[in-house]
Chains A and B, each alone.
Chain A
Amino acid sequence: MNRVLPVLTVIGVIVVLWYAAAVWMNRTWVYDQAARDGATVSFAEMVPATLNQERPVLPTPHQVVTELVKSTFGMKVTSKKSLVYHGWVTLSATLLGFAIGTGAGILLAVGIIHNRAMDLSVMPWAIASQTIPILAIAPMIIVVLNSIGVQGLVPKAIISAYLSFFPVVVGMVKGLRSPDAMQLDLLKTYNATGGEVFGKLRLPSSMPYLFASLKVGIAASLVGAIVGELPTGAVAGLGARLLSGSYYGQTVQIWAALFAAALVAAALVAIVGVIEGRVLKRMGMAR
C-alpha cells in the first residue's frame, strides 16, 4: 500500500510536465496565428489557446483521453473510426501468433532437452537470435505472403509468432533443466520412466520460467502485430491508425492509438500475471 502514493506522485509529475511541454511546443502556432491577424497575445491568452488545438504538435493529456474515450465508446464497434474495431484486428493477430509461437517454442524446448545433438546445434542460434533485430523481416513476410495469396490475419500472426517463439524456447529450456541432480536421482530410484520424469518433475518445475517468458513473449507479439500492419498501407489495426495518423498529421489520433496499444499491452501482461499467480498458487510454488 505504501507504493500507491509514490506512484501517484510520479504520474502526477509526468502529467504536469506533459502540460508544460504541450504549452511550450504548441505556442509557436498560436503566436504565428496572432501575427497573421496583426494582433498580439499575452502569455495568459496564449496558454489556453495551446490546450485544445485541432492539430497540436503535442496533444494535451485531456485531448488524448477524450479522443480515446470517444473512439472507444462513442462509435459503433464495426465503424472504421472505432478503436475497438482496430484494437480487435491487432489483438486477434497477436493472440493467434502468440498461441502458435508459444506452442512451437515449448515443443522445440522439449526436443532440445531430450536430444543432445539438437541442444548443441539449435540452442546457440536461439540465444543469438535474441541479439538480432528480427523485427526487420516483418515487411518482407507481409509482402511475400501477400504475393502468394495469403493476406489478412495470418501474415501478422506469423510475425507475432516468431517474435514470441525465441523467448519461450530459451525460457522453457532453462525451466525444464531447473530440477537439480538430486531430484532427478530420486526419480531414478523410484524407477520412473522418461515420460514420468518429464510430467511429474520437469514440467511442473518449469512453470515459473514459462510464465516469465510468456510475459515477454506476449508483449513482443503485440509489437510484431502492430509493426506487421505498417507495410500493407494502413488498412486496419492499431498500427494502421498510427501510420494513417502520421500521413495526415492527426496527432491526437496517433496518441489515442498509442494509448490504446499501451492499454492492450498492459492488459495482456496483467492477464498472464493473474494466470501465473493462480497456477503457481495451486502448485504450491507461490512466493
Chain B
Amino acid sequence: MIWVVLALAFWAGAWATNVWLSHSVVVQSRAGRLLVPALFGVTILVVWEGLVRGLGVPGVILPPPTAIAARIGAEGPTLWADFRQTFVKGALSGYVIGCGAAFLTAIAIDRSPFLQRGLLPVGNFVAALPIVGIAPILVMWFGFDWQSKAAVVVVMVFFPVLVNTVAGLAASERMQRDLMATWGASYWQSLLKLRLPAAMPFVFNGLKIATTLALIGAIVAEFFGSPIVGMGFRITAEVGRLGLDMVWAEIAVAALAGSAFYGLVALVEKRVTFWHPSQRVRN
C-alpha cells in the first residue's frame, strides 16, 4: 500500500510543480519548455511503477518500468538484432525505394496535366485505404525475410509521398515561373532551380508522414510471417509466451526508433527548407 501512497504523493507533487512552472518565467526559456513534459513523463513512469508494485499487478498483465528497463539492459544483443532486421533491412530500404520511386513518378507525370488530374484522386483514395492488408500477399510473393517487409513499406509510403510531391511541384507561383520563362530557362532548368526547391516543404511533409508508415508497415508485415528475428516477430512470440517485459522493451525500441527517424527527417528538412516561413527562428 505504501507504494500506492508514494506514487500518488509523487503525482500530486509533480503536478503542483508543473502548474507552478507553467505560470512562472521558467517556461519562457527553451529548457523550461522541455522540463514540463519531461516531468510529466517521469510522473507517468513513477505512478505506473508504484501502482503495479502497490496493487500487486502480475507481470503477465503489466510489468513495472524497472522490469522493462532491466530487460532492455539484459537483452541488448537480441533487441539490436531485431532492430537491424526490422528497421535497417525492412523499413529503411523500403522507405528509400518507395520514396525514391514516388518522387521519380511525380517528376515523370509532371509534364502531363492529364495524368496528374487522373493520378491525384486515385492517389488520395489509395492513401486512405488500409494498405497494411496487402502484407499477407507480399509475404507470399517475396518470402518471409526482410524483402517482403521492404515491399510492404514501399507500397505504404508510395502514395503519400507521390501526392505531396505532385502538390509541391504545383506550388511555385505563376509570377515566378513567368520570370524563369523570361530568362529563357529550359524545362529542366526551371524544374531544378525553381520548382523542385519550392516543392521541398511539401515533399518533406510526405517524407515525414512516411517515416511512421514505414515502421508500422515493417512491424505489421512480420505478424504475417517472418524469420525468427525482427521486432514484429519478437512481439508476437513474446506475447504468446506472456513475456510482456520483453514486448514492452521492443515497443520502447520501436518508439525510440520511430521518433529518432522522424527527428532525423525533420532535421534534414530544416537544413533544406531554411528559407520557408515555418522554419524561421522565433524570438
The residue from B18, B40, B225, B263 contacting A246, defined by CB atoms under 8 A apart: B225
Q: Whole-angstrom distance between the alpha carbons of A261 and B22 in the complex?
A: 45
B128 at interface, CB cutoff 8 A: yes
Asked if B130 contacts A243 (CB within 8 A), the reply is no
Determine the chain B residues whose CB is within 8 A of the CB of A249 once the complex forms: 140
B51 at interface, CB cutoff 8 A: no
Determine the chain A residues whose CB is within 8 A of the CB of B62 once the complex forms: 144
A16 to chain B, nearest CB (A): 14
Asked if B259 contacts A128 (CB within 8 A), the reply is yes
A117 at interface, CB cutoff 8 A: yes
B196 at interface, CB cutoff 8 A: no
A134 to chain B, nearest CB (A): 8
The residue from A6, A119, A144 contacting B117, defined by CB atoms under 8 A apart: A6
Q: Whole-angstrom distance between the alpha carbons of A221 and B140 in the complex?
A: 26
Q: Whole-angstrom distance between the alpha carbons of A146 and B251 in the complex?
A: 20
Asked if B258 contacts A11 (CB within 8 A), the reply is no
B246 to chain A, nearest CB (A): 10
Which stretch of B99-107, B168-176, B215-223, B275-283 is in the interface? B215-223
A124 to chain B, nearest CB (A): 4
Q: Whole-angstrom distance between the alpha carbons of A132 and B216 in the complex?
A: 8
Asked if A133 contacts B258 (CB within 8 A), the reply is yes
- Would A133 and B216 be within 8 Å (CB), given that A10-B122, A243-B136 are in contact? yes
Determine the chain A residues whose CB is within 8 A of the CB of B121 once the complex forms: 3, 7
Q: Whole-angstrom distance between the alpha carbons of A135 and B244 in the complex?
A: 16
Determine the chain A residues whose CB is within 8 A of the CB of B235 once the complex forms: 136, 139-140
A262 at interface, CB cutoff 8 A: yes
Asked if A120 contacts B27 (CB within 8 A), the reply is yes
Which applies to chain A's interface (DSSP): helix, strand, loop or mixed? Answer: helix
The residue from A9, A116, A144, A238 contacting B23, defined by CB atoms under 8 A apart: A116
B211 at interface, CB cutoff 8 A: yes
Determine the chain A residues whose CB is within 8 A of the CB of B27 once the complex forms: 120
Which stretch of A27-35, A190-198, A251-259 is in the interface? A251-259
A-B contact count (CB 8 A): 168
Chain B, Cβ-Cβ closest to A25 = B141
B115 at interface, CB cutoff 8 A: yes
Which stretch of A44-52, A72-80, A222-230, A278-286 is in the interface? A222-230
Measured as residues with beta carbon below 8 angstroms from the partner, the interface class of chain A is 35 or more
Q: Which of B231, B239, B250 has the most CB of A within 10 A?
A: B239
Determine the chain B residues whose CB is within 8 A of the CB of A5 once the complex forms: 118
Q: Whole-angstrom distance between the alpha carbons of A227 and B219 in the complex?
A: 11
Determine the chain B residues whose CB is within 8 A of the CB of A182 once the complex forms: none
Asked if B250 contacts A136 (CB within 8 A), the reply is yes
Asked if A140 contacts B37 (CB within 8 A), the reply is no
Determine the chain B residues whose CB is within 8 A of the CB of A57 once the complex forms: 140-141
Which applies to chain B's interface (DSSP): helix, strand, loop or mixed? Answer: helix
B147 at interface, CB cutoff 8 A: no
B207 at interface, CB cutoff 8 A: no
A271 at interface, CB cutoff 8 A: no
Determine the chain A residues whose CB is within 8 A of the CB of B39 once the complex forms: 121
B198 at interface, CB cutoff 8 A: no
Asked if B130 contacts A262 (CB within 8 A), the reply is yes
Determine the chain A residues whose CB is within 8 A of the CB of B261 once the complex forms: 131
Asked if A120 contacts B37 (CB within 8 A), the reply is yes
Asked if A139 contacts B125 (CB within 8 A), the reply is no
Interfacial residues of chain A within 232-269, with CB under 8 A of chain B in the complex: 238-239, 242-243, 245-246, 249, 251, 254-255, 257-258, 261-262, 265-266, 269
Chain A, Cβ-Cβ closest to B213 = A133
The residue from A7, A122, A148, A243 contacting B224, defined by CB atoms under 8 A apart: A243
Interfacial residues of chain A within 1-45, with CB under 8 A of chain B in the complex: 2-3, 5-11, 14
Determine the chain B residues whose CB is within 8 A of the CB of A265 once the complex forms: 128-130
Chain A, Cβ-Cβ closest to B112 = A6
Determine the chain B residues whose CB is within 8 A of the CB of A123 once the complex forms: 37
B143 to chain A, nearest CB (A): 13
Determine the chain A residues whose CB is within 8 A of the CB of B247 once the complex forms: 139-140
- Beyond the given pairs A125-B40, A133-B258, 5 more chain A to chain B contacts, judged by CB atoms under 8 angstroms and listed by A's residue number, are A122-B40, A135-B220, A219-B130, A243-B224, A257-B133
**A to B CB contacts below 8 Å, 7 in the list:** A10-B119, A117-B22, A120-B18, A125-B37, A231-B239, A246-B139, A265-B130
Closest 3 A-B residue pairs measured CB to CB? A6-B118, A246-B136, A121-B40
